[in-house]
Amino acid sequence: MDSILPFLPYVLPVVTGVVAWYAKGSKLFKKDIEAKDVAIESDQTDIISKNLKIYQDMLDDVEKRYEEKLAKRDAEIKALEDKVEKLETQIEQLKSNQ
């Protein structure tokens, strides 16, 4: 133990420096990892937002197509009702002529 004491003033600062350097490096490494995590979460949020927009556009398109088909079917029904009324009128006229 007496043989280590003369070197202790030289070894202790080196050991302290290495420990401090390691601790500082690990903190920087953690900060770098945290920054990357934030960037990844931001990217994931952007992707989710874009996917939600695409889904909303699809739903809007389905609604638009449904409304168009419904309007077309309503027009067809109206045309058929008019045709039925016209035929009923013709039938009544034919009955009254006989």
Distance CA 48, CA 42 (A): 10
Reported residue count of the chain is 98
What's the pTM value of the predicted model, to 2 decimals?
Answer: 0.44
> Which token pair is 19?
């420990």
d(CA 38, CA 47): 14
Asked which of 24-28, 60-64, 72-76, 82-86 is least confident by mean pLDDT, the reply is: 24-28
Q: Looking at the predicted structure, is the pLDDT value of residue 2 above 80?
A: no
- Which tens digit of pLDDT belongs to each residue from 48-79? 999 999 999 999 999 999 999 999 999 999 99
Residue found by looking up tokens 């990357």 in the block: 36
Q: Which two tokens stand for residue 70?
A: 């419904």
